[in-house]
């Protein structure tokens, strides 16, 4: 389980306060829709968070423009991380909801430099259902789009 979970009301969360300049942060980049800053947890050196400027709790609460802007900023930051830290790997992580692993309910994406034996793990239990089951899932999603 994460060591830190922000349970502040919407608009008063730690990232909104950071955007407002009410708390200090090691800023990396900001534009009209996004802000990028060093994660205080620094899982590995160069670990950056890219967040929306506006409070949007999860991906589902973002506008298409905000979602696109966060990915564009994440790409830009990833290029800078590569240039500045030269990690042999890089992971982008974006979590939604407590069960999804989200600890601050303000949309953000982690840009994490990766190294051999860096201690980061992600369990990925493959289920491999039959093709007919997959087709049924796809049909449900096509109907929802």
Which positions are annotated as active-site residues?
108
Whichever of 41 and 136 has its CB closer to Zn ion, that residue is 41
Whichever of 87 and 106 has its CB closer to Zn ion, that residue is 106
13 binds Zn ion (CB under 5 A): yes
Closest contact distance (angstroms) between CB of 99 and Zn ion is 20
Closest contact distance (angstroms) between CB of 50 and Zn ion is 14
Q: Which residues of 81-116 are buried (b: 16+ CB within 10 A; e: fewer)?
A: beeeeebeebbeebbeeeeeebbbbbbbbbbbbeee
- Token pair recorded at residue 26: 């090691």
x/- string (CB under 5 A) for Zn ion, residues 96-115?
Answer: ----------x---------
Q: φ and ψ at 60, to 5 degrees?
A: -70, -15
- Token pair recorded at residue 143: 């109907």
Whichever of 78 and 95 has its CB closer to Zn ion, that residue is 95
């Amino acid at each position: 389980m994460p060591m830190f979970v922000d349970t502040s009301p919407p608009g008063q969360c730690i990232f909104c306060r950071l955007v407002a300049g009410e708390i200090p942060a090691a800023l990396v980049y900001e534009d009209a829709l996004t802000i990028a800053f060093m994660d205080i947890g620094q899982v590995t050196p160069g670990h950056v968070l890219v967040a929306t400027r506006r409070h949007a709790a999860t991906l589902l609460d973002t506008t298409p423009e905000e979602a696109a802007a966060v990915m564009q900023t994440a790409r830009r930051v990833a290029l800078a991380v590569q240039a500045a830290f030269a990690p042999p790997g890089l992971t982008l992580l974006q979590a939604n909801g407590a069960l999804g692993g989200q600890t601050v309910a303000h949309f953000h994406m982690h840009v994490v430099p990766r190294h051999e034996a860096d201690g980061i793990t992600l369990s990925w239990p493959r289920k491999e259902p039959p093709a007919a089951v997959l087709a049924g899932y796809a049909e449900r999603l096509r109907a929802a789009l």
